[in-house]
Structure 1
Amino acid sequence: MTTDEKEKYLGLATADMSIDDLLSFVNDFPALLWRIEIAKSRIEFLNNNYIVAQGLDGKLLLKNIQYQQKMLLTEDAYLLDTFMNAVREGRTAATVFRVQTEYNEIVWLKLTGAANSWDSRYYYGFLLNITDTVEVIKNIVGKDINLQLLVDDTDNPALIIDYDSRNVICCNSAARELFGKWQRDLAELKLEDLYRASMNVTMREILEKVLLTRKWKGKLDFYHNDKRGVFSAETTIRYLLHKTRKLLRISFSNPQIKHKPVREVKRKSDAAVRKHLEEHVEKTPTDISRIMKAALSSPIIDKNYDGILFSDIHVRKNKVFVYWAGHPFEGMEQGAPFPYKGSIAEDINRFNLTHLSLTDTQESIKPIDWVLFVPQGIRSYFARPFYSRKVLRTVFILCSKSPETFTGYAAEDFDSLFEPLDETIRAWRRSAKK
């Protein structure tokens, strides 16, 4: 193709822009321009604007995983991962995330890119510092996006409330778990949705006093697990004034579950379950099918439970290998591979969950539910994670063909089964060298 033909294809002739003009534009563009050869995962930089902020090297940020882990805020890591997945798939994408520079300053960056329409082997994009833009947006919408940092700095459940409207603004993962809500669901609630109606007068008095005292501390009762129970906790309420906005930061320590749903949980001693597993797998410790069948026939298993899964997690390989017992999964190979991305394990990791239960798979938008559970007739499940050296390696999943089978169950309700089973799986890994 001639230069004129290329210019016409690129639209340069219409803009009366020469190749030299284009090169000058690339060099002067106030962002780091780059392209990736998708098949080879090789990145090239098209200009030298790599100092995207003082104390931050944009080139290293995009190509050096150790530098990424050092500079990127942990809670934003998934945003960059999602963008890079889009790059590998050649999809147009954009994301915004935060990094901490060598001078301990928080900087907002934007990554955007698209596949080259002329040569699909390449993906072009830019890395841009948008900190100033974010500050403008904050002022326009009257919100401080960094409010999330006020609740992410503690391991205790905590949330931010708008004093005037009583709306929940943001919360941390511990609060989501305690109240049984996702971030978006909790943000749709008001403060009065979280505590018992019998506390209306007490709470009104507390909120009037805290305007003067700035802080209140005492024991209060709140709904637990999406109103399926109640917990009592040492509650600290702080009154904050941010710019012109009045806020409440509410944190909870030592929550005690006071009332659990009316149900009977069949719980056998750990020793009985261990003995049951040992009797079934003693002679064949590497037979995973036998191990899973023994787990499903355990004394703790209710007749409403139709299957059990063991997910062998390999985060770095983006793999989850699933082993099973129960008639719904007959025909599926043992150790069937699935992507870690989009899995139950990924949600548990991302949101720091102690367990994950789903009331009805047919209402789910998670791809794995429609691949692994819905075709087998599974309507609800309860998942419990186990870790090795603080790394998620195992998720056990009890399955039922009826919806809402596990509604109201707490993380520890099945540990009499799962803890001995985890010990058996650890022995299986050693024997099978997994």
Structure 2
Amino acid sequence: MGTELVYQSQGNGCGYACVKMALIHSSKRRDFAFAPERPIAGQAPSFADLSAYAANLGLKLSGYKVWDPRAVLIHRSYYPFIAIIKEDGLLHAVYVVKRQRGGFKVLDPAKGVRKMGEAEFLSVFDGRILIEEGYEEIAPRFRRAKPVGALARIAGSLISILPSSLLLAGLLVLSFASSFGYAAIGLFLASLLAVMGGRAYLLSSLRRFDDSYIRYASCSDPKRRKEKFAHYQRYKGAAFACLPALLSSLFELCFAAIFLSFGDPHLGLSIGAMILLLCLKQLAVNPNIKRKEKEVERLEESYLASNGDSAEALASLRRGADSYSRLVLAEKAFGPLLALCLSCLCLLSSGFSPERFLFAAMSLLLISTCLDRCFAASEGLRKVKEEENYFALNFYWPSREDRESGQ
């Protein structure tokens, strides 16, 4: 097993998250991602605290202050290691996995996987590192927190697919057995009832979830209470909505692609080409959009740090925001433009017919919409992974302790 990204579960818990990544690498055990952490009140844990935390779980870490960073960075034997960087005036722990051509692969507990250029990394590297020296198997197995049970996930997914299934079944009846018109109407009405039933089920599930966990968002510190409530809402929204949305979107995409291309090989090839090109676009463009978004966030923080007095910071922020807006606009326009181009190819391959062009364009736009929903739902599932450690530490395990103590 290589390395695995672990998101931090506390505001200043980047060090603990990096120690967990080092434990996963040394032990080949993924369950260390769910190891309990010591609550942080105020300052982030020191190197001594992190070394003691790792030692209790069987990992020996040695800390060093490097005066010449290149002396460490050029030797592959040191990788992976925990490094302290300073960004936006704040110290932050990251897990440096390996040296790549022109930079480094870094696992950031707050921002995810990053590729930092050598000059960029050296400009923020604090010089302090923690290196793995050895591992001993002394820690027990750790359980993953499951605030939303497997049965609830399965039921929610099936209920989300049901309306689309009934609607598409009605369309099939109308297409291939038009004499059964009343049966098709019944299926359409059943689809509407399934939508209403799914909404009712979702509301009841959210209510039960709130009854179990929302009270743990209360805190005497207003800032801390606001932070906990924001994390709670992000996890709840992603956990209940994203998996059903992904499954229903995939089902609709597959059925629509098969149904629309049935008996029409030219449109079928266009649909296949569109799915392939949109997936390649997502892989190629989406990382650039995220990188640009983080760059705009850094420019905004720099401008706010200057109290709005720096004209240069404001100009840089405007340039970055304009560039980001153009990139997002181009990404959103790619799907409809691709649908129109492929519709023109369908028109040329099968003879000129306005009805044919309109049907192909609407079909390809439907495929593009289904794919966009799949991409959005998969992005939401990533947010579940980002938030699950925070939710487990601050909501799930406190609720389990209260239930076991009879409160």
Greater percentage in helix: 2
Q: State the structure with bigger RCO (CA 8 A, min sep 6), 1 or 2.
A: 2
Structures share a fold, TM > 0.5? no
Normalised by the shorter chain, which TM-score bucket? Answer: under 0.3
Query: Normalising to structure 1: TM-score of the pair?
Result: 0.22
